[in-house]
Amino acid sequence: MYLSQKDEKVLKGEDGPVLAKAMRLMVTLGELGGAEKLVPIKRSQVAGVSYKTSGDPTLELLEGLVKDKVVAKTKATLNPAGMDLERWMEMGVSPAFAEKQLRICKTYERLGVLPSCTCTPYLSGNKPCFREIVGFSESSAISYVNSVLGARTNRHGGLDALSAALVGRVPLMGYLLDENRRGTLLVKAGFKPESESDYAALGYYVGKSTKTDDVPVYSGLRKGSHDELKLLAAASAASGSIALFHMVGLTPEAKTEAEAFGGKRPSSSLEVTMKEIQSVYRELSSDEKPDLIAIGCPHCSLSEVGRIAKMLAGKRISNRKKFWVFTSPGVFAEAEKRGYIGMIQSSGADVFKHTCMVVAPIEEIGFHSIYTNSAKAAFYTPRMTKSKCQAGLHSLKECVREGASD
Ligand code: F3S
């Protein structure tokens, strides 16, 4: 693989051992993926933040890196942590967990990664442009920026996204190249989604039914807001690691079906009707009534927070349940200015930043069953809790009906 003189120097350790290791990781990934060279990036999203999922080994590794005084060369933002960094006590998180979590976030900050702690960096200050090459980890963000924004990123894990941020380079391969962005499978939607959770169910079904490197092209869906596509992207990334999809007439590389397939005919197709969507709701269901209604996977946009505020106006959350909304600090600040946070809190619900129902220690906090409008959260919640906290997929309207009364 071609390396510039500057890359060679970093690789030889002239800028210190940490950058040499980070560059070695980029070069190794490039060689494995058949890249011709490394290319510069200006943005990164770094996952592997929650103490629940990363634990002491990550903390020790990060604290070791800091000693070399290296900082990210890109605009780098952090994925959600295991708690609201300011209001963790109100969530019921233990001081022992909080101490470790705060140390992890502080260490990332010293490495030049902003502790924004959101999986929707593209909604609050770290939004790539069309065709911009970036180094993102976090499967839902990878799928969203590739598909809905038409930016270009490969599937990075937390450590290689951090390495890419430190050296400001990624290997030119995979989804960064035109030829790997063309559709491989036609998905015919033979039903009309009636709620945002129907989009999530569609993404979940498609992810389960395809191969990891498939690029699904959805046809037959005439509308779909960015919020709905966000839920779909997260769901197909969770059930099938889908990193890129196109939606004819809606996403930027699919003005027509022919464009989405790069002028070729699709080699296979999949029909999704209401029957398949209902099978997803049956699979992602819970036998128990929820003790937590959790909305915001991926983190809510301003319009979603506003919608929830209006739906909860004049209602009261049952005192046997919690109703939590998760969003980014940037969206929270804007929602607060518009009065949405106050409206939500006056119903007895709450809005937390920096975290979500999947990466927070919800089991230790004492929850046993959740309702959510996110297929990703319904899929991961039982898998990320030792006693398998149950999770059911429902529309936002049903979640509000379950959690709040007039
Ligand atoms: Fe984001 Fe947590 Fe869902 S990180 S995509 S809200 S699992």
Segment 344-370, tens digit of pLDDT: 999 999 999 999 999 999 999 999 999
Reported pTM: 0.97
Q: What is the mean pLDDT of residues 288-315?
A: 97
Q: Does residue 378's CB lie within 6 angstroms of at least one atom of ligand 1?
A: no
What's at 336, amino acid-wise? E
Question: Hey, whose CA ends up nearest to atom 2 of ligand 1?
Answer: 356
Q: What is the mean pLDDT of residues 327-335?
A: 98
For residue 222, pLDDT beyond 80: no
**Could you tell me which of 343, 351, 179 has the C-alpha nearest to residue 264?**
179
Q: Does residue 30's CB lie within 6 angstroms of at least one atom of ligand 1?
A: no
Q: What is the mean pLDDT of residues 42-48?
A: 97
Question: Hey, whose CA ends up nearest to atom 1 of ligand 1?
Answer: 298
Segment 108-148, tens digit of pLDDT: 999 999 999 999 999 999 999 999 999 999 999 999 999 99
Q: Does residue 80's CB lie within 6 angstroms of at least one atom of ligand 1?
A: yes
Q: What distance in angstroms lies between residue 20's CA and the mean position of ligand 1's atoms?
A: 32
Q: What is the mean pLDDT of residues 374-393?
A: 93
Segment 162-201, tens digit of pLDDT: 999 999 999 999 999 999 999 999 999 999 999 999 999 9
What the chain holds in terms of domains, given with CATH numbers, is: 5-178 (3.30.499.10), 182-282 (3.40.1060), 285-403 (3.30.499.10)
Q: Does residue 119's CB lie within 6 angstroms of at least one atom of ligand 1?
A: yes
Q: What is the mean pLDDT of residues 380-387?
A: 90
Instruction: Please classify residue 256 by burial: count the beta carbons closer than 10 Å to its beta carbon, then call 0-12 exposed, 13-18 middle and 19+ buried.
Output: exposed
Which pLDDT does position 254 carry in this prediction? 97
Q: What distance in angstroms lies between residue 77's CA and the mean position of ligand 1's atoms?
A: 15
Q: What distance in angstroms lies between residue 348's CA and the mean position of ligand 1's atoms?
A: 23
Which pLDDT does position 132 carry in this prediction? 98
Best of 304, 305, 359, 389 for a ligand 1 pocket test (most atoms within 8 Å of beta carbon): 359
